Amino acid sequence: MKIPMVDLKTNYLNIKKEIDYAINSVLNKTDYILGEEVCKFENDFAKYCDTKYAVSVANGTDALRIALISAGISKGDEVITTPFTFIATTEAIVQSGGIPVFSDIDSETYNINPDEIEKKITKKTKAILPVHLYGHPCNMKKITAIAKKYNLQIIEDCAQSFSSEYKLNNKWKRTGSLGDVGCFSFYPAKNLGCYGDGGMITTNNKTIYENAKMLRDHGQYDKYYYKENGFNSRLDTIQAAILSVKLKYIDEWTNKRNKIAEKYNKILENIADVPIVQENCRHSYNYYSICLKNKLEKEKVQQNLLKNGIACQIYYPQSLHLQEVYKYLGYKKGDLPVSENIQDQVLSLPMYPELNDGQIKIISDRIKEKI
Ligand SMILES: *Cc1c(COP(=O)(O)O)cnc(C)c1O
């Protein structure tokens, strides 16, 4: 029996009636671009994240790029971020004209280590871009304090953390409402995924909101009047209609992911490092990632899973500061040792709300065989 990383088919079949109805209603209205479902979904999304505004865009990478430009990042500005993330994070920084500055990660959560950030601040630093990796929130208490001290903006990469929560100043808040602007992806494998590409920007800042809304639609501020060079980056009405249906289920699905993580933890905690959930954090487990003793052990486990038809992935096998594309930034091996170690040891296992006990047992048995 094959076990995938995510089971999109079962997920669809469970809500097929509602989804088909939502798609059909758009087909009947034919308002494919910025139709009323887009506006409705943006409102519902802002309400869920408890932000004043939400602007939908074509994908998560554009959410980051448009958020950075809307927040005023431009040529030569330095943006401090993690080397242990998907390339889109830094791709967006470069596309805005900015320079990614890599700061090492925390060995417990694999998120940017706030204690390393200050060393990286220069006169050119304009923003910090924390990524809530796998769905575990970054240490926003410390990051917020640093941002305040040096007058920097915070742009959150929430592509893997929709529905995650963090307690700041004694109040539980959702990721995407903790910094100046939040960026989300609706890539199918994310916690809230559409049936294609999609993304969202959240903010409480009116200027950022207005800039983002203009930039996603060619820089247009009034029909056929343009203030800036923008992009064609809108969320399709059909995708918004699908996402509106799925949004109603997100809390149920996140709870299921947490239950599955607890079951995995119980079986695996004695043989590997299982994900920890730090104080003041609620995890949403976009990915469930374990950390093995070393590269050799990880490879043995990985091969055994794949041989038995069980999917697994390494997020991410090469830290970004060592990628060819960023050679010009001048980093070398050994510069960010925690990230360089972790990249060899992590392994992400199948994780989706529909994963059942039998499957969890099969996956765990295959891991145990090699440890
Ligand atoms: C998925 C992802 C993105 C990009 O999202 P797309 O919708 O695929 O463009 C950005 N950052 C992180 C951390 C991601 O996981």
Report the CATH number that the domain containing residue 297 is assigned in CATH.
3.90.1150.10
Same-domain pairing of 271 and 290: yes
pLDDT digits (tens, 9 = 90+) for 128-160: 999 999 999 999 999 999 999 999 999 999 999
Is 233 touching ligand 1 by the criterion CB < 6 Å? no
Same-domain pairing of 124 and 202: yes
Same-domain pairing of 261 and 170: no
22: in domain: yes
Instruction: Specify the ligand 1 atom closest to the Cα of 61.
Output: 9
User: Percent of the chain beyond pLDDT 70?
Assistant: 100
Picking from 221, 247, 273, the residue at the C-terminal end of a domain is: 247
pLDDT over 90 (residue 304): yes
Pick from 175, 187, 192 the residue to mutate for probing ligand 1's pocket: most ligand atoms within 8 Å of its CB. 187
| Protein residue with its CA nearest to atom 6 in ligand 1 | 60
The total number of structural domains that make up the chain: 2
The domain in which residue 297 lies consists of 250-368
| Protein residue with its CA nearest to atom 1 in ligand 1 | 159
Compute CA 197 distance to the chain's CA centroid, rounded to the nearest angstrom.
14
pLDDT over 90 (residue 336): yes
Distance 60 CA to ligand 1 centre (A): 5
Residues 111, 341: contact at Cβ < 8 Å?
A: no
Same-domain pairing of 13 and 130: yes
Considering just the CA atoms, what is the radius of gyration of the chain in Å? 20
3: in domain: no
Is 134 touching ligand 1 by the criterion CB < 6 Å? no
1: in domain: no
Same-domain pairing of 227 and 260: no
Same-domain pairing of 148 and 43: yes
User: Percent of the chain beyond pLDDT 90?
Assistant: 99
pLDDT digits (tens, 9 = 90+) for 278-290: 999 999 999 999 9
- Amino acid residing at 62: D
| Protein residue with its CA nearest to atom 2 in ligand 1 | 159
155: in domain: yes
SS (H, E, C) 141-209: HHHHHHHHHHCCEEEEECCCCCCCEEEECCEEEECCCCCCEEEEECCCCCCCCCCCCCEEEEECCHHHH
Same-domain pairing of 158 and 294: no
Q: Is cis: bond before 249, omega within 30 of 0?
A: no
Picking from 247, 263, 298, the residue at the C-terminal end of a domain is: 247
pLDDT digits (tens, 9 = 90+) for 166-182: 999 999 999 999 999 99
pLDDT of residue 239: 98
Is 56 touching ligand 1 by the criterion CB < 6 Å? no
11: tokens are 């997920």
pLDDT of residue 43: 98
Sheet holding 53-57, edge to edge: 53-57, 199-203, 181-185, 153-157, 125-129, 78-81, 99-102
pLDDT of residue 327: 98
Is 160 touching ligand 1 by the criterion CB < 6 Å? yes
298: in domain: yes
Same-domain pairing of 259 and 238: no
Residues 275, 136: contact at Cβ < 8 Å?
A: yes
Same-domain pairing of 13 and 97: yes
Picking from 247, 266, 301, the residue at the C-terminal end of a domain is: 247
pLDDT over 90 (residue 371): no
pLDDT of residue 161: 98
pLDDT of residue 1: 78
Pick from 87, 89, 243 the residue to mutate for probing ligand 1's pocket: most ligand atoms within 8 Å of its CB. 89
Same-domain pairing of 148 and 239: yes
pLDDT of residue 325: 98
pLDDT of residue 295: 97
pTM score? 0.98
Average pLDDT score over the chain: 98
Give the number of other CB atoms < 10 A from CB of residue 331: 18
CATH number at residue 147: 3.40.640.10
Same-domain pairing of 213 and 269: no
Same-domain pairing of 132 and 170: yes
